[in-house]
């Protein structure tokens, strides 16, 4: 696990507008009396009980798009705006992303399950076509899906090893989301994933009142000040 003090130091580093943070290996050192490590068959189904949204993380390098289905995605900081993604080390998308140093996180709707399946396939087995996807290039050149529930465009701020995956910290450059208040019944619903199955919301009704977004983030589109 990344120590909170370590992350705080990284965020402070970025706020000072310094160069990207150099990768530092974080390792766990077993101590006497520690519980025996869990096995893979136990670990995966346990975490599968955690419901998530579904995204396609994409980048562009040398006039080609690369993408991968990702549900290991979270926000890290509001000021500066930072997000975290986790990509498999063997992924072609990770290799291209390291060269481009930019990426997009396209949050899928319940109508985009086919895209999730497409980009979840092993990249060595099939070319993942973007040709039939309504999209446009963002400020960084990364592909942004026009029909996504939301998308976030980022520049890589830091990279960390995480076992058979790599963790990438991204500083947000621009973003977009569908405004449920304006779209009403036409608002798309999120694609959900739990226990290795796709799900959708049984009801779009909220369990509580809407929480107002911070000042400067209540529009449909927002960009990082230059």
Whether residue 195 lies inside any domain: the answer is no
Digit-coded pLDDT (tens) for 14-25: 555 555 554 444
Alpha-carbon distances, residue 99 vs 28, 56, 60, 66, 109 (angstroms): 29, 18, 9, 12, 29
128 is in which domain, residue-wise? 13-18+53-183
Quote the mean pLDDT of the chain: 80
pLDDT digits (tens, 9 = 90+) for 131-181: 999 999 999 999 999 999 999 999 999 999 999 999 999 999 999 998 877
Is residue 213 domain-resident?
no
Average pLDDT rounded to a whole number, residues 87-101: 95
Inside any domain, residue 46? no
Q: 3 lies in a domain?
A: no
Question: Do the domain assignments include residue 143?
Answer: yes
> The domain that contains 140 carries what CATH number?
2.30.110.10
Distance CA 115, CA 199 (A): 15
pLDDT at 2: 44
Residue 200 pLDDT > 80: yes
- State phi, psi for 166 to the nearest 5 degrees: -120, 135
Domains held by the chain: number: 1
Give a yes or no: residue 226 inside a domain.
no
Q: What is the pLDDT of residue 159?
A: 96
Query: Environment class of residue 17 by beta-carbon count within 10 Å: exposed (0-12), middle (13-18) or buried (19+)?
Result: exposed
Q: Are 213 and 221 in contact (CB under 8 A)?
A: no
């Amino acid at each position: 696990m990344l120590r909170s003090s370590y992350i705080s130091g990284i965020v402070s580093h970025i706020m000072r507008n310094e160069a990207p943070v150099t990768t530092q290996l974080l390792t766990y050192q077993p101590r006497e009396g520690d519980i025996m490590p869990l096995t893979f068959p136990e670990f995966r189904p346990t975490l599968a009980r955690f419901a998530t949204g579904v995204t396609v993380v994409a980048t562009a390098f040398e006039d080609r798009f690369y993408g991968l289905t990702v549900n290991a995605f979270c926000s890290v900081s509001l000021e500066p705006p930072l997000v975290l993604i986790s990509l498999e080390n063997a992924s072609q998308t990770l290799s291209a992303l390291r060269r481009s140093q930019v990426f997009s996180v396209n949050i899928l709707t319940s109508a985009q399950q086919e895209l999730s399946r497409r980009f979840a396939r092993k990249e060595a087995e099939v070319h993942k076509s973007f040709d039939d996807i309504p999209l446009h290039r963002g400020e960084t050149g990364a592909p942004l899906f026009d029909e996504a529930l939301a998308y976030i465009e980022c520049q890589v701020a830091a990279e960390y090893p995480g076992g058979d995956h790599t963790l990438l910290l991204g500083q947000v450059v621009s973003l977009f989301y569908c405004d449920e208040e304006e779209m009403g019944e036409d608002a798309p619903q999120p694609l959900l994933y739990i226990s290795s199955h796709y799900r959708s919301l049984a009801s779009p009704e909220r369990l509580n009142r809407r929480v107002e977004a911070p000042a400067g983030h209540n529009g449909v589109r927002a960009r990082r000040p230059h």
